[in-house]
Amino acid sequence: MKGTVTPHREGIPTVLKKYGYHNLFFMTHEAQYDNMKAFFSTNGYDDIYSQENYPKNEVVNSFGVSDHFLFNYSLPIINKVAKSGKPFFATLLTISNHPPYIIPSFFHAKTSKPETQIVEYADWAIGDFIKKAKKQPWYKNTVFVILADHGKLVGNSNCELPVSYNHIPLIIFGADVPTMKCNNLMEQIDVMPTLMQLLNMSYKYNGFGINAIKSKRTKAFYSADNEIVGRDAKRCYIYNPSMNSSFCYDVDQNGKLRQNKNINQFSYLRNYVFSMTQTAEYTTRKSRLH
């Protein structure tokens, strides 16, 4: 999101804005972090709330305020927008499970390690917000999406780019959201097409996501630091450009990886991840991605 010119990208907030939605973003930290305020203001958000808006005594660490404060702060603002009669799209970015971990004194965790205590707290804060949201008139007409930006290393590293770094939760729920469970591969880019399906909204889309309700993703691609990854349900291909090296793994039914040195079996994943990352880079550079 950093750069001399803040790029315009079509996404959920820009589409909803065309339908008359009022878009709000709440973050725990300073607005300038990662150039967030400029990026979000350019890309469909009407109001942005950050550390600059909160009482100084509520700032607990370098990442700003606690999750429960953010949720409690957002609720009356959301209520005010809802009472105006406009539909709204509210995004709340929590960050409590990034170290240094600060657990409020009133919260009593059941586990002993800070790494798990903070997860307990984050889970409680979300649940407390949902309980309070259920009491609001707008709850029955709202779709909730709970999503992470990334995972973390769990246990020992199982490959050059551990799967747990990119294994994240996705929960979509609401009064009129059908109950279903997706055991297929999904990516963050699938959230928009899936959400638009639930909202029954038409839109123009030139991205790489799929509607997970109607379609099944057979392959996924992602990258981090020095690796790009292409994988399906049975195989995982990792390429390190700086080393010009490939790493290949079979994936068992439990998601565990086992090294496979027969690189020819992975050529289809190599072609897939190369074509997808090159196309993504090209369309972004040429500002054709919507």
pLDDT at res. 154: 81
Please report, as a single letter, which amino acid is at residue 80.
K
DSSP one-letter code for 143 = E
Q: How far apart, in whole angstroms, are the C-alpha atoms of residue 218 and residue 99?
A: 35
Per-residue pLDDT tens digits for 73-109: 999 999 999 999 999 999 999 999 888 999 999 999 9
What percentage of the chain has pLDDT greater than the value 90? Answer: 80
Higher pLDDT, 69 or 158: 69
Which one, of 36, 43, 89, 44, lies nearest residue 63 by Cα? Answer: 36
In the β-sheet with 245-251, what is the strand arrangement from edge to edge?
A: 220-224, 227-231, 235-240, 245-251, 257-259
Confidence of residue 276 (pLDDT cuts 50, 70, 90): very high
Map residue 228 onto helix, strand or coil.
strand
The two three-digit tokens of residue 81, written as one number: 């927008």
Confidence of residue 4 (pLDDT cuts 50, 70, 90): low
pTM for this one? 0.92
pLDDT at res. 141: 96
The two three-digit tokens of residue 30, written as one number: 């300073």
| Average pLDDT of span 263-290 | 88
pLDDT at res. 202: 94
Map residue 173 onto helix, strand or coil.
strand
pLDDT at res. 152: 87
Whether 56 shows a pLDDT value over 60: the answer reads: yes
pLDDT at res. 2: 60
pLDDT at res. 1: 60
Which one, of 241, 237, 242, 232, lies nearest residue 260 by Cα? Answer: 237
pLDDT at res. 157: 83
Please report, for residues 158, 186, 201, 209, 232, the alpha-carbon distance to residue 196 in angstroms, rounded to integers and kept in the order given.
36, 16, 5, 12, 25
Domains belonging to the chain, first-starting first, are: 12-217 (3.40.720.10), 221-285 (no CATH)
Q: Phi/psi of residue 75, each to 5°?
A: -60, -50
First to last CA, the chain: 16
The CA-based diameter of the chain, rounded to the nearest angstrom, is 62
Per-residue pLDDT tens digits for 230-269: 999 999 999 999 999 999 999 999 889 999 999 999 999 9
Whether 287 shows a pLDDT value over 60: the answer reads: yes
| Average pLDDT of span 129-133 | 98
Q: Which residues contact 77 (CB under 8 A, 6 or more apart)?
A: 24, 47, 49
Whether 28 shows a pLDDT value over 70: the answer reads: yes
